[in-house]
Structure 1
Amino acid sequence: MVQGADITFENVARRFGRRWAVAGVSFAVKAGEGVALTGHNGSGKSTLLRCLATALKVHHGRILVDGQPLWDNRHTLRPRICMLSHAGALYDDLSGEENLRVWARLGGHTGDLPALLDRVGLAGRKEPVRTYSAGMRRRLALARLILHQPGVVLLDEPYTALDAKGRALVTEVATALRAEGATVFMATHLMDYARHVCDRRIELLDGEMVSDGEVPR
């Protein structure tokens, strides 16, 4: 089992220049919940996830993880959080397995790396990651997510650049992590897929939360 976390957003706001990408968002999520963040491009979904990942500092309000202010305790809380995004940190000159070895060593993780690559459809690939397609890179990032086994999972448009099998894999991995106890956030336009992972939907519009409710089954 993984240790999920209660997450609380208290009047969180983040701007870029004069534009508020997130403008006073407040809601709470219990450990083990699955939350879909929806809204048009530029609504603030990715910015909110990046703030939770500590990739961005909020300009107003705060985020709490199990009651602890995230930014003030980011060095101890960040290892519990893992984000899958378009800009996943990959070592382009290394193979997929070599990437996993680096991440395993840095994070103190253990696992059968060849079996992990087989699970995500990258078994036997020896070429450097720079030759990977966008879908293959997303699959490798999924392997990293499985290796990490984080308590808080952040998925930023995870179905992008994937075929039907790849999208099914994302759903399988995210569902398995939730079953293990992880708290999952997914920014997406594809609710037909997200509804299999998330039981709650929060919609953003121009940086503000406009709805919060259950995902219909």
Structure 2
Amino acid sequence: MRTIERVVARGVVKTYGATAALRGVNATIEAGRLTLIEGANGSGKSTLLGILGTVIRPTSGSLDYEPLGDDVGTARGTIGWLSHESLAYPDLSGRQNVELAAGFHGLDAHEAWRHAEERFELGSFALRPLRTCSRGQRQRIALARALVHQPSLVLLDEPTTGLDRAGVARLLAVVDAEVERGAAVVVVSHEPEVFRERAAARLVLERGRVVTSAS
């Protein structure tokens, strides 16, 4: 599988009618490090994450997924996304959700499940319909599903929501492992202090503009 080594956003603008969500954003996301995106509600954080993840098309500007260029189709296959909501199938079990994602990426479903079960400590709850699981349990399953194919670009949208202290610690251990593996990890969070020690780069947005960009 071809991998993403760097994502470069140049002059990215996104408008919804008369509302500008992003106003000429320039940013570089590097492999092997955590980039933290901060900002108040409505600053454009989730819109930028959606554009990086190819699910939102910018109104203008460009994104290069180096060395893939602007090949969005190929880039999409090596992106792992953890949304604010799990977006998993509620009537399928956790295991079925993970195995289904593995199949989409051409992986052996049984082997993918075995690895995910061990890594994310997925107990008997993962054999129940997802809708019967707690928020923290759904989060673990969603994270396992997002990372099943070892993506080179990992996007995490408000990943600590609903997690207790143990859940946050488990999440941070996974983030550390993904960075160590060489993935480019991008986090959007209303609790940025959880990630700041780990962040090699920070982007602070205000009304759709980057007001702070630091490494």
TM-score normalised according to structure 2 size:
0.91
Deviations 1:41-77 (Å, cap 9, x if unpaired)? Answer: 111111001011111100010111005443xx22111
Hey, what does 2:77 align to over in structure 1? 79
Q: Does 1:98 find its partner at 2:124?
A: no
Counterpart-to-counterpart distance in 1, 2:9 and 2:33 = 15
Hey, what does 2:50 align to over in structure 1? 50
Alignment check: 8 A CA contact 1:117 1:140 kept:
no
Hey, what does 1:122 align to over in structure 2? 122
Question: Alpha carbon RMSD of aligned pairs, Å?
Answer: 1.8
Hey, what does 1:113 align to over in structure 2? 113
Alignment check: 8 A CA contact 2:32 2:183 kept:
yes
Q: Does 1:40 find its partner at 2:50?
A: no
Hey, what does 1:193 align to over in structure 2? 194
Q: How do 1:148-163 and structure 2 match up within 5 A?
A: 148-163=149-164
- The change in CA–CA distance for 1:153 and 1:23 in structure 2 (over 3 A counts) is same
Counterpart-to-counterpart distance in 2, 1:210 and 1:190 = 19
Alignment check: 8 A CA contact 1:53 1:78 kept:
yes
Hey, what does 2:18 align to over in structure 1? 18
Deviations 1:87-106 (Å, cap 9, x if unpaired)? Answer: 33311111111111111111
Counterpart-to-counterpart distance in 2, 1:67 and 1:117 = 33
Counterpart-to-counterpart distance in 2, 1:187 and 1:81 = 16
- The structural deviation recorded for 1:173 is 0.8
Counterpart residue type for residue 152 of structure 1? L
Counterpart-to-counterpart distance in 1, 2:65 and 2:184 = 11
Counterpart-to-counterpart distance in 1, 2:18 and 2:86 = 27
Count, aligned residues: 211
Deviations 1:104-160 (Å, cap 9, x if unpaired)? Answer: 111123435245235434311222011122222111111113322100011111111
Runs of 4+ in 1 over 6 A off after TM superposition: none
Extract unaligned runs of 5+ from structure 1.
Answer: none
Extract unaligned runs of 5+ from structure 2.
Answer: none
Alignment check: 8 A CA contact 1:3 1:181 kept:
no
Counterpart-to-counterpart distance in 2, 1:167 and 1:173 = 10
Instruction: Give SS of 1:147's match.
Output: coil
Alignment check: 8 A CA contact 1:4 1:181 kept:
no
Counterpart-to-counterpart distance in 2, 1:58 and 1:105 = 30
Counterpart-to-counterpart distance in 2, 1:68 and 1:98 = 31
Alignment check: 8 A CA contact 1:32 1:184 kept:
yes
Counterpart-to-counterpart distance in 2, 1:24 and 1:52 = 14
Counterpart-to-counterpart distance in 2, 1:187 and 1:85 = 10
Pick which of 33-42 and 59-68 moved more: 59-68
Counterpart-to-counterpart distance in 1, 2:68 and 2:147 = 26
Q: Taking every aligned residue pair, what percent have the same amino acid on both sides? A: 34
Deviations 1:149-194 (Å, cap 9, x if unpaired)? Answer: 1000111111111111111111111110110110111111223321
Pick which of 105-114 and 155-164 moved more: 105-114
